[in-house]
Amino acid sequence: MNQEIQNNQTNKSIKLLSLYLKDQKQAQKLGFNSTKIQLYLQQKNYGQACLKNFQIYLVQFQNLKNLSLEMINCKIQGQHLEQFVSSLHKCPNIKYLNLNFKLSYLQQKSIFSSIHKMQNLKSLKLNLSNCYITDDICQIMLDDILKISNLSKLLIDLDQNRLKSIPQLNQMNENLKNFTIILSQNNIKNSQQKQINQWNFPSLKRLSIQLDNNEISDTHFIFRNTEQILNQLIFFEIDLRQSQFLFNILNQIILII
């Protein structure tokens, strides 16, 4: 979907959203679905104001089940995102949540500290690509997110941040079945790798780890003592394209030839 189509859809959604706040029946006649809201915005000058205004009216959407909010390059600050996330539990029926805050500035450790209150949330898609996130912030964010008790599907994009290691996920989640974590184009190295053998997801069936364009030359550090978690999976993939690991393998093949 190109940007023009997305903008047109968002303009229509905003108009219907505004109408719904004034006249619910008329908005529904025009096609507004109060159980599913999709908004797309790529204007950095209005991002924080729109987020704040939307947050104020969230309480009026008690039937909302599916929320998709894409605010790319809107320069959202961490404290504003934290305030927004803390208001999401006012919509207790949300099951599917897609938040895209690519190209924001997220330096708050407590951004997702209240997201565990979303007890009915089953699927979370989170794009935090290029948001200046460091290892300590990433660790706390993920531990907070994994406290969502009924979460079964999680996709988190941490591409092009300031990560030097694979996060060590200490928070157990009994219902997580599908987990994708994108760590591409960071600065992850062997000496700073953390292992996944401590990840505690007893129901996990599908796992995807994207590590392309890092500086990993040996995967031994990642998979040491991981038999238990790998044996329970029905699908597993790891992307190491353009990594030092594959470069070393190619060198060995060339030497043999």
Residue of higher predicted confidence among 60 and 29: 60
Distance of CA 175 to the CA centre of its chain: 17
Of 74, 65, 119, 127, the C-alpha closest to 96 is 65
Q: Are the CB atoms for 124 and 85 separated by under 8 Å?
A: no
Backbone φ and ψ of 189, nearest 5°: -125, 165
Please identify, in words, the CATH class of the domain defined by 35-256.
alpha beta
Most confident of 17-26, 92-101, 102-111: 92-101
What average pLDDT does the structure give for the chain? 81
**How much of the chain exceeds pLDDT 90, in percent?**
43
pLDDT at 156 over 70: yes
Q: Within a 10 A sphere around the Cβ of 144, how many other Cβ atoms? A: 19
Q: What is the pLDDT of residue 86?
A: 93
Q: Are the CB atoms for 40 and 55 separated by under 8 Å?
A: no
Of 153, 172, 28, the C-alpha closest to 97 is 153
The label of the residue with tokens 């690509």 reads: 129
pLDDT at 184 over 70: yes
Buried b or exposed e, range 26-51, using 16+ CB within 10 angstroms: ebeeeebbbeebebbbbeeeebbebb
Q: Within a 10 A sphere around the Cβ of 3, how many other Cβ atoms? A: 10
Torsion of CA 54, 60, 62, 68, to 10 degrees: -20
Q: What is the pLDDT of residue 256?
A: 35
Q: Within a 10 A sphere around the Cβ of 170, how many other Cβ atoms? A: 12
pLDDT at 94 over 90: yes
Structure tokens at 204: 């996990």
C-alpha distance from residue 22 to each of 12, 183, 218 (Å) = 16, 43, 59
In which order are the strands placed within the sheet that holds 96-100? 36-41, 66-71, 96-100, 123-127, 153-157, 178-182, 206-210, 235-239
Q: Within a 10 A sphere around the Cβ of 155, how many other Cβ atoms? A: 16
pLDDT at 152 over 60: yes
**How much of the chain exceeds pLDDT 70, in percent?**
75
Domain definitions of the chain by residue range = 35-256
**What does the pLDDT average to over 115-138?**
95
Over residues 204-239, the pLDDT tens digits come to: 999 999 999 998 877 666 666 677 778 899 999 988
pLDDT at 32 over 50: yes
Sorting pLDDT into bands at 50, 70 and 90, what band is 171?
A: confident
The three-class DSSP label of residue 88 is helix
**What does the pLDDT average to over 136-147?**
94
Q: What is the pLDDT of residue 227?
A: 74
What single string gives the DSSP state of each residue in 12-25?
A: HHHHHHHHHHH-HH
Q: What is the pLDDT of residue 252?
A: 40
Q: Are the CB atoms for 161 and 128 separated by under 8 Å?
A: yes
Q: What is the pLDDT of residue 245?
A: 53
Q: What is the pLDDT of residue 76?
A: 84
